[in-house]
């Protein structure tokens, strides 16, 4: 029995003081720290993706680079997909449909509000929220289980195993 898992990772905390365009905004110090923490946690949980698709925005690139540093040599190549930046739910579903068939464990890295919409769309039931009422906080990863089904974009077709947030792990 082959299990299929989608890891949905929001970029870590960005540096709003950087005087750059939104696309080019880097991570702040906490963002780098949280991204490394989440990468180490994923490795500890044995949630090492065999495919990574990420937004090419600077903060997303830095997040996934820090995560991959913690995953070590097991980290796969990364597909930088411009559609993920400022993506709507429909655009994210297209990305998943294109790449989900070829991965047992797919890691998608992007931005809100799209990722909140994606988690709510894919999973059955109401996902847990942070103490402040947020779903996908910065550097949070949602672990979405498709079971024996391939990773796909069907509504409420998957089970949310956990939303792991840096402050909670």
pLDDT exceeds cutoff 70 at 26: yes
pLDDT at 104: 95
Q: What is the mean pLDDT of residues 116-142?
A: 92
pLDDT at 132: 84
Least confident of 94-108, 122-136, 144-158: 122-136
Q: What is the DSSP string of 1-37?
A: ---EEEEEEE---B-TTS-S-GGG--B-HHHHHHHHH
Specify the higher pLDDT residue, 1 or 84.
Answer: 84
Q: What is the mean pLDDT of residues 2-17?
A: 95
pLDDT exceeds cutoff 70 at 163: yes
Percentage of the chain surpassing pLDDT 90? 87
Q: What is the CATH number of domain 4-13+22-142+157-168?
A: 3.40.50.1240
What is the rounded distance in angstroms from the CA atom of residue 22 to the CA atom of residue 43? 30
Q: What is the mean pLDDT of residues 23-33?
A: 98
What is the rounded distance in angstroms from the CA atom of residue 129 to the CA atom of residue 146? 21
| Sheet architecture: strand order including 78-80 | 78-80, 51-54, 105-110, 4-10, 141-147, 159-164
Burial class (CB in 10 A: 0-12, 13-18, 19+), 16: exposed
Q: With 0.85 as the threshold, say if the pTM is over it.
A: yes
pLDDT at 74: 65
Mean pLDDT across the chain: 94
- Per-residue pLDDT of 32-90, as tens digits, reads 999 999 999 999 999 999 999 999 999 999 999 999 999 986 667 899 999 999 999 99
């Amino acid at each position: 029995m082959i299990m299929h898992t989608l890891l949905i990772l929001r970029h870590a905390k960005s540096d709003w003081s950087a005087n750059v365009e939104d696309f080019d905004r880097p991570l702040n110090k906490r963002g780098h720290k949280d991204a490394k923490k989440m990468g180490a946690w994923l490795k500890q949980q044995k949630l090492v993706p065999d495919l990574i698709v990420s937004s090419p925005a600077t903060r997303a690139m830095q997040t996934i680079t820090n995560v991959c540093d913690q995953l070590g040599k097991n980290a796969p190549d990364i597909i930088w997909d411009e559609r993920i930046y400022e993506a709507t739910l429909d655009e994210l579903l297209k990305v998943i449909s294109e790449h989900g068939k070829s991965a047992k464990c797919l890691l998608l890295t992007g931005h809100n509000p799209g990722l909140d919409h994606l988690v709510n769309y894919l999973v059955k039931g109401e996902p847990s929220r942070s103490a402040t009422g947020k779903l996908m906080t910065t550097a949070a990863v949602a672990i979405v289980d498709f079971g024996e089904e391939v990773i796909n974009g069907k509504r409420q077709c998957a089970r949310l195993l956990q939303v792991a947030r840096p402050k909670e792990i």
